[in-house]
A and B are shown apart, each in its own frame.
Chain A
Amino acid sequence: MSIVVEQKEALDARIAPLLARAQALYEDLDLRAVQAWKSEDPSRRAIGFLPVYAPREVVHAAGALPVGIVGGGDQVEIVRGDSYFQSYICHLPRSVVELAVSGRLAPLDGFLFPSTCDVIRNLSGMFQILLPGKFVHYLDLPQNFDRRLGGEFYQHEMRTVAREVGKLTGIEVSDERLRASIVAWNANRAALRELRALRSERPWLVPTAEHYLVLRAGYLLPVEEHTRFVRDYLAAVRASARHPLDNIRVLVRGAFCEQPPVALLRTLERAGCYVVDDDFLQGAHLIPNDVREDGDPWEALSDAFLHGTVPTASIYDEKAEKGDALVRRVREQRVDGVILMAPSFCDPALLDQPMLQAALEKAKIPFTSFKYAEDTGQFQVIREQAGTFADAIKLWGSA
């Protein structure tokens, strides 16, 4: 393998416009894309959902556009958001509140707060106060995974969401409609699976930051459009002339809710790490495999949640398997090491870490860990940590 050389490629003419679009969507904090979509038909409604996971199929089936709200990243100046949160609370809710009080969430007609952590939970109440009159719903995801117990409860929750969103759109969610939505999302899941497979196989074709931006576009675009977008991107990178660097393969865990700034992702790669698997925007791929398209669609969605999710910090680990699952994943993805990277002050992610570390230590898998915030602006420490990690593997591995 060659010496570390920074890849200074002129962006491929096919990739460039796609990336430009994804970047524009990423920067679209005013939700102009949603406004545009809504303006095509005055009866259209859009529903925001917070991390980590919400059954977007249900919102879609009720005729509304599900829009992911994952904070303001490093793009918003926090002026009023800070006034709602003490310094020891993670950054995400303050930028979400900043977006809300500055009117940038106005294109949304309602909000879903899935049970993720205490901060998101309490944020649901704050929204009730800050945006009176808007539909704000706390979506309790089951922590009991028995179909008759947790399953029934969850189906009841989903039906409540369907009914409430349906009131806004005037559409009643029939089984037919819901099934159609499942089909649409299955198509999207298939495209994303393909993208992830390609990235794992040839990570130089799908840089982490690009992968992220492509995924992120799905938090704003209608699902059908996003699926096309992912397919276009896949075709473009497959045809590109990108070539490999002297980088190690890593897997990133812990970033399931608050999103790292894109510059941080680039930093990781520049420091010599190919991220071949991660949990950024976890909600977009929490259920990686297809949801059953036949039978009762409510049950199908519920089953998929109860038994088809990848382990994540905000879902109770009933079978004590997350450590093993991580180790298995490391082997499957043939990575050289793991980066445990959690948002500062994120209790779920940080409390998970000792358990994940123990599993990695036991399996003798190298790992490194650090914290970040969505608005982290200085990457020196992260660069050095990731770089040293990559150095150690490169110097001592087979490279």
Chain B
Amino acid sequence: MTRTAGIDVGTGAIKVALMEGGRLAQSYLERLRRRDVHEVVEESFDAALRQAGWRRDELDYIATTGEGDQIPWRTGHFYGMTTHARGALFIDPSARGAVDIGALHTRAMRFDENGRVLQYQMTSQCASGSGQFLENIARYLGVSIEEIGSLSMQAAEPEKCSSICAVLAETDVINMVSRGISTPNILRGIHNSMAVRVAGLLRAIKTSGVLLLTGGLARDLGLAAAIAEKLKDGGVQVEVRQHELSVFAGAIGAALWGGFRHQKLASRGVEHGSAS
């Protein structure tokens, strides 16, 4: 059976997915926390293989995505939106759209039942509304990342906060706190402002049907709710979902595409080992 690996090199974390015959055999995540990327990639890949009891030379294809095109021992590289779309489809076969909210960038894509990306959109050079942004806010509020979602869900009167700079947010947030606004209301306000940006991207790609949140922030229920609400207000017919594997969508997608390429090349009798 074909064994492939997908490695998603992000700005916040490294994600590894090992696939066997179209099934997810192993997943592994390691946060970067300001460490050397290449070292963490090596470590995480080895850890994943160890957990699965595999050896590197048993792999038919090692696919990278994200910032992974610099990894010398990859077989091939696929770009972020290609892999997130494929991964999303794997995780939730009814999904036709995905939003990947990463540490710095947010990407939205629409795809067909084969995982072929039809349209996509990505934020540009301002980190307002990014994952990093939310992380900073949580830090100023003394809330751990895991708690954000459930706190946000308790909000009764979300605070209005439009386009806040990710860096100056500190002041804004502290200001809100000192005005007596509760943590849930602040968080939901922030979620709402992020949702506006996401909704903008989604509108641009004209998505409809089931939308899967992928990437690190997919677990954040508050954000998911905010996005769903924003889309509903905007008259967009979308069902927003998330999944515990969401964070691995890129890695899974890469591994799947690797398998696809492997078959295609093998069927043509093309030899391929490592890329270099």
- The answer to the question of A107 belonging to the interface, with a C-beta cut-off of 8 Å to chain B, is no
- The answer to the question of A381 belonging to the interface, with a C-beta cut-off of 8 Å to chain B, is yes
- The answer to the question of B178 belonging to the interface, with a C-beta cut-off of 8 Å to chain A, is no
List the B side residues contacting A3 at CB < 8 Å: 75-76, 261, 265, 272, 275
- The answer to the question of A239 belonging to the interface, with a C-beta cut-off of 8 Å to chain B, is no
Q: Are B81 and A381 in contact (CB under 8 A)?
A: no
List the A side residues contacting B261 at CB < 8 Å: 3, 395
Q: Are A380 and B105 in contact (CB under 8 A)?
A: yes
Q: Are B78 and A391 in contact (CB under 8 A)?
A: yes
Tell me whether A384 and B81 are in contact in the complex, defined as CB-CB below 8 angstroms, given that A3-B272, A4-B275, A392-B116 are known contacts.
yes
List the A side residues contacting B81 at CB < 8 Å: 384-385, 388
- Separation in Å of the B195 CB from the closest CB of chain A? 21
Contacting residue for B124 out of A2, A381, A383, A388, CB 8 A: A381
Give CA–CA (A66, B117) in the complex, Å: 46
List the B side residues contacting A79 at CB < 8 Å: none
Interface residues on B, range: 20 to 34
- The answer to the question of A13 belonging to the interface, with a C-beta cut-off of 8 Å to chain B, is no
Q: Are A396 and B275 in contact (CB under 8 A)?
A: no
Q: Are A396 and B116 in contact (CB under 8 A)?
A: yes
List the B side residues contacting A4 at CB < 8 Å: 76-77, 275
Tell me whether A381 and B116 are in contact in the complex, defined as CB-CB below 8 angstroms, given that A3-B76, A3-B272, A395-B82 are known contacts.
no
Give CA–CA (A388, B77) in the complex, Å: 11
List the B side residues contacting A387 at CB < 8 Å: 78-80, 82
A:1-58 near B, CB below 8 Å:
2-5
List the B side residues contacting A390 at CB < 8 Å: 79
Give CA–CA (A381, B105) in the complex, Å: 9
Residue in chain A with minimal CB distance to B257: A395
- The answer to the question of B29 belonging to the interface, with a C-beta cut-off of 8 Å to chain A, is no
- The answer to the question of A271 belonging to the interface, with a C-beta cut-off of 8 Å to chain B, is yes
Q: Are A384 and B276 in contact (CB under 8 A)?
A: no
List the A side residues contacting B260 at CB < 8 Å: 395
Q: Are A388 and B80 in contact (CB under 8 A)?
A: yes
B:96-117 near A, CB below 8 Å:
105, 107, 109, 114, 116-117
Give CA–CA (A395, B263) in the complex, Å: 12
- The answer to the question of A86 belonging to the interface, with a C-beta cut-off of 8 Å to chain B, is no
Tell me whether A392 and B82 are in contact in the complex, defined as CB-CB below 8 angstroms, given that A3-B275, A5-B276, A381-B105 are known contacts.
yes
- The answer to the question of B145 belonging to the interface, with a C-beta cut-off of 8 Å to chain A, is no
- The answer to the question of B125 belonging to the interface, with a C-beta cut-off of 8 Å to chain A, is yes
- The answer to the question of A87 belonging to the interface, with a C-beta cut-off of 8 Å to chain B, is no
List the A side residues contacting B123 at CB < 8 Å: 381
List the A side residues contacting B47 at CB < 8 Å: none
Contacting residue for A395 out of B116, B122, B275, CB 8 A: B116
Q: Are A378 and B82 in contact (CB under 8 A)?
A: no
Tell me whether A385 and B120 are in contact in the complex, defined as CB-CB below 8 angstroms, given that A3-B76, A3-B275 are known contacts.
yes
Q: Are A5 and B82 in contact (CB under 8 A)?
A: no
Contacting residue for B82 out of A2, A383, A391, CB 8 A: A391
List the B side residues contacting A391 at CB < 8 Å: 78-79, 82, 117, 257
- The answer to the question of B1 belonging to the interface, with a C-beta cut-off of 8 Å to chain A, is no
- Separation in Å of the B165 CB from the closest CB of chain A? 15
Q: Are B76 and A392 in contact (CB under 8 A)?
A: no
B:105-149 near A, CB below 8 Å:
105, 107, 109, 114, 116-117, 120, 122-125
A:370-399 near B, CB below 8 Å:
378, 380-381, 383-385, 387-388, 390-392, 395-396
List the B side residues contacting A381 at CB < 8 Å: 105, 122-125
List the A side residues contacting B257 at CB < 8 Å: 391, 395
Contacting residue for B117 out of A2, A378, A388, CB 8 A: A388
Contacting residue for B275 out of A5, A271, A380, A383, CB 8 A: A5
Give CA–CA (A134, B219) in the complex, Å: 64
- The answer to the question of B156 belonging to the interface, with a C-beta cut-off of 8 Å to chain A, is no
Give CA–CA (A235, B86) in the complex, Å: 45
Q: Are B125 and A378 in contact (CB under 8 A)?
A: yes
Q: Are A388 and B120 in contact (CB under 8 A)?
A: yes
B:244-276 near A, CB below 8 Å:
257, 260-261, 265, 270, 272, 275-276
- Separation in Å of the A313 CB from the closest CB of chain B? 22
List the A side residues contacting B109 at CB < 8 Å: 388
Give CA–CA (A11, B95) in the complex, Å: 47
Q: Which of A271, A390, A391 has the most CB of B within 10 A?
A: A391
6 closest Cβ contacts across the A-B interface? A387-B79, A391-B82, A388-B81, A388-B79, A392-B117, A388-B82
Which residues of B come within 8 Å of A, CB atoms? 75-82, 105, 107, 109, 114, 116-117, 120, 122-125, 257, 260-261, 265, 270, 272, 275-276
What are 26 A-to-B residue pairs whose CB atoms are below 8 Å? A2-B272, A3-B75, A3-B265, A3-B272, A5-B275, A381-B105, A381-B125, A384-B79, A384-B107, A384-B122, A385-B81, A385-B122, A387-B78, A387-B82, A388-B80, A388-B82, A388-B120, A390-B79, A391-B78, A391-B79, A391-B257, A392-B117, A395-B116, A395-B257, A395-B260, A395-B261
